[in-house]
Amino acid sequence: MSLSETSLVDTKDAPKSAAASRPATVFVDGGSGTTGLGINERLKLQNDVVVKTIADDKRKDPAAKKALMEEVDLVILCLPDDAAKETVALIDSMGDAGPKVLDASTAYRVAPDWAYGFPELAPDQAGKIKAAKKVSNPGCYPTGGIALLRPIVDAGLLPPDYPISVNAVSGYSGGGKSMIASFEDGSAPSFELYGLGFEHKHLPELQLYSNLTRRPIFIPSVGNYRQGMLVSIPLQLDALPGKPSGADLQATLAKRYAGSRHVSAMPLQNEASKGGRLEPEALNETNMLELYVFASDKYHQAVLVARLDNLGKGASGAAVQNMRLMLGMADV
């Protein structure tokens, strides 16, 4: 069996991992895709992880993959849904000898026996991820939408059955190899809406983890730039129970994410604020998420906006954050 190993640490001075007094070991299954490449690039910057790899001609060999997975603490799946399910079944067949698994596909994001990998979702969510053997990495769009909606639903400012519309724009890197190729060869349009069939794969997790009982309308779009994302949610404030102000919404977000390393509730943007514009690329190459409330007291309206890198906090950055939690390692 042809296996190879890439060590990212000096083992002589390596810290103890959650598994034993040695560096943590990880296998990224599907490391040639956009998310997998991003994860591997981030892991190269860390000094306390050993990444094990499998030869190209063995990638689809179940016996070779199983033998490798017996040697690692955690497997990160960057595969299509069906392939992810096959690998999870293989891990399940290993019983207690199987590694922890972090899945970046949509296969298990609403599965009740998997922890949802958004550590900032609730005060106890990071602890659930740390204790879990199976964690689903969130989708990029839901990360922004849930971060905005969940705190104000939990606070009672937004009823769970309120009719919500979520609009979003992403760079083309979120669309996979074919979309990337079409934009980079000039054959794609400059901008387009999609998901207009109301069946976007991110809708189930967006609704579930926002604590919404009514299915939201979600309209994503893609622009002719590589990466960066804005997720926006318009609200008629005088139609909400209690008629909250923009300041109430911002204070609720600020309270939820106070002390968070990766999520920031930005100052309220109202008539007195200068600006009124927001571009999507400012957080590229980071694992940061910024949350804004743009509000008008005059018109009793607000727009909630999340800004993130669809390849960072929306994918690879979140995966590394979750990996470190699952392995009992310090956040970076």
Looking only at the bridges linking them, the beta strands covering 191-193 and 217-223 are: antiparallel
The two tokens of residue 33 are 């895709």
pTM: 0.91
Contact status, residue 17 vs residue 24, Cβ threshold 8 Å: yes
Residues 6+ apart with CB under 8 A from 112: none
pLDDT at 51: 94
Structure tokens at 13: 């001075």
Q: Give me the pLDDT at residue 222, please.
A: 96
Do the beta carbons of residue 237 and residue 300 sit within 8 Å? yes
The per-residue pLDDT string of the chain (332 residues; one tens digit each, 9 = 90 and over) reads: 333 444 333 333 333 334 445 789 999 999 778 999 999 999 998 889 999 988 888 888 889 999 999 999 999 999 999 999 999 999 999 999 999 999 999 999 999 999 999 999 999 999 999 999 999 999 999 999 999 999 999 999 999 999 999 999 999 998 878 888 899 888 889 999 999 999 999 999 999 999 999 999 999 999 999 999 999 999 999 999 999 999 999 999 999 999 999 999 999 998 877 678 999 999 999 999 999 999 999 999 999 999 999 999 999 999 999 999 999 999 98
Pair 253, 202: CB distance under 8 Å: no
Q: In angstroms, how far is CA 151 from the centroid of its own chain?
A: 17
Q: d(Cα 5, Cα 47) in Å, to the nearest integer?
A: 15
All domains of the chain in start order, with CATH: 24-137+316-327 (3.40.50.720), 140-308 (3.30.360.10)
Query: What dihedral do alpha carbons 280, 281, 287, 289 form, nearest 10°?
Result: -30
- The number of residues making up the chain comes to 332
**CA-wise closest residue to 149 among 296, 230, 242, 256:** 256
Return all residues near 82 (Cβ < 8 A) that are at least 6 apart: 107
Find residue 54's DSSP bridge partners: 3
Instruction: Calculate helix-pair angle for 81-92, 62-69, nearest 10 degrees.
Output: 60
Tell me the residue ranges of DSSP E strands in the chain. 3-7, 24-29, 49-54, 74-77, 100-103, 115-116, 134-136, 165-171, 191-193, 217-223, 229-236, 263-265, 289-296, 301-308
In the set 140, 157, 158, 291, the catalytic residue is 140
* Cβ-contact 287, 120 below 8 angstroms: no
Sheet holding 191-193: strands in order across?
A: 191-193, 217-223, 165-171, 229-236, 301-308, 289-296, 263-265
End-to-end CA distance of the chain: 35
Return the H-helix or E-strand segment holding 244.
Answer: none
Task: Look up 78 and say whether it is catalytic.
Answer: no
Report the amino acid identity of residue 80.
P
Q: Under DSSP, is residue 76 helix (H, G, I), strand (E, B) or coil?
A: strand
CA distances, 57 to each of 7, 62, 218 (Å): 21, 12, 40
